[in-house]
Amino acid sequence: MSEAEARPVKTRYDVTLPFGIGVPAWPGEPMPVITRLADMDKGDDCTVTRLDFAVHYATHLDAPLHFVKGGGDVAGLALDVLMGPCQLVRIDNEIDAIGPEAFEIAPGCTRLLVKTRNSALWDDPAHAFHRDFTAFTPEGAQWLVDRGIRLVGIDYLSVQRFYDSEPATHRILLGAGVIAVEGLDLRAVEPGEYHLTCLPLRLVGADGSPCRVVLDGPASTRQKDRRQDTSEQP
């Protein structure tokens, strides 16, 4: 067996929503406006795009400053938290409010992504904003904090349910320094352990930022078996 064949092949998933194709904005926030300051199609020397958008649009993260007065900004978020091992769990389609003990958190897990019925909404990325999405209750948020979670990601535009009268879920998570990643497209990803890369812009003074989110692994069962088969070899 050649070296290339023996090496476990990992799968890479880009779980970022495309920006600029009509993904719904949060009610009350504007859709992004994308214009051209210069355009080669119009005879200019080069093409330069201007982007005008709210920072909580599409796939993005929330920094503490979003709900904590005087809280940290996006530029101050720890790269150590934004990249590293993460656990992806699947929430049953019947569940629309994720409370404590809704699933098993693996020992030592600090980065957690939840795949819910929300992901199916991205079959039509330009759908009208869906208010009845699945998200965490305040008690569920406190459970994550108590379990040592430092980053939590969800597959719709908020970690908190739309109709909650108080932003308690956000305050609990961001108040504890947990990074909330919102607007993930997890349709193609199965539950398991992955390596997360979640990189926002280095926006000074900003409470949120769009980010590119990529998951690596796990190897497929067949590839895992193959790795075991070759583990004895030098």
Q: What is the DSSP letter of 132?
A: S
CA dist list (Å): 167 to 67, 163, 172: 8, 10, 9
Residue type, 24: P
- Closest-by-Cβ residue to Zn ion is 56
Amino acid at 10: K
Instruction: Give backbone dihedrals phi and psi of 49, rounded to 5 degrees, phi first.
Output: -100, 140
**Contact pattern for Zn ion over residues 162 through 201, marking x by CB under 5 A:** --------------------x-------------------
Q: Which is nearer to Zn ion, 62 or 155 (CB)?
A: 62
Taking residue 106's Cβ as centre, other Cβ atoms within 10 Å add up to 11
66: annotated active-site residue: yes
Residues 68-97 within binding reach of Zn ion (CB under 5 A): none
Out of 53, 57, 62, 121, the only residue in the binding site for Zn ion (CB under 5 A) is 62
Q: How far is CA 220 from CA 10, 12, 34, 194, 196, in A?
A: 8, 12, 40, 12, 17
Q: Any idea what DSSP says for residue 17? A: P
Helix (H) or strand (E) holding 227: helix 221-230
Stretch that binds Zn ion, among 51-59, 70-78, 85-93, 187-195 (CB under 5 A): 51-59
Q: Tell me if 207 contacts Zn ion by CB under 5 A.
A: no
Give kind and range of the element (H or E) at residue 226.
helix 221-230
In the complex, least distance from residue 181 CB atom to Zn ion, rounded to whole angstroms:
9
Nearer to Zn ion, 86 or 174 (CB): 174
Please identify which residue in 16, 56, 77, 200 interacts with Zn ion, judged by CB under 5 A.
56
Closer to Zn ion at the Cβ: 121 or 226?
121
Q: Which of 60, 66, 127, 170 is catalytic?
A: 66
* Contact flag: residue 161 with Zn ion (CB under 5 A): no
Catalytic (active-site) positions: 66
The residue ranges that bind Zn ion (CB under 5 A) are 56, 62, 182, 208
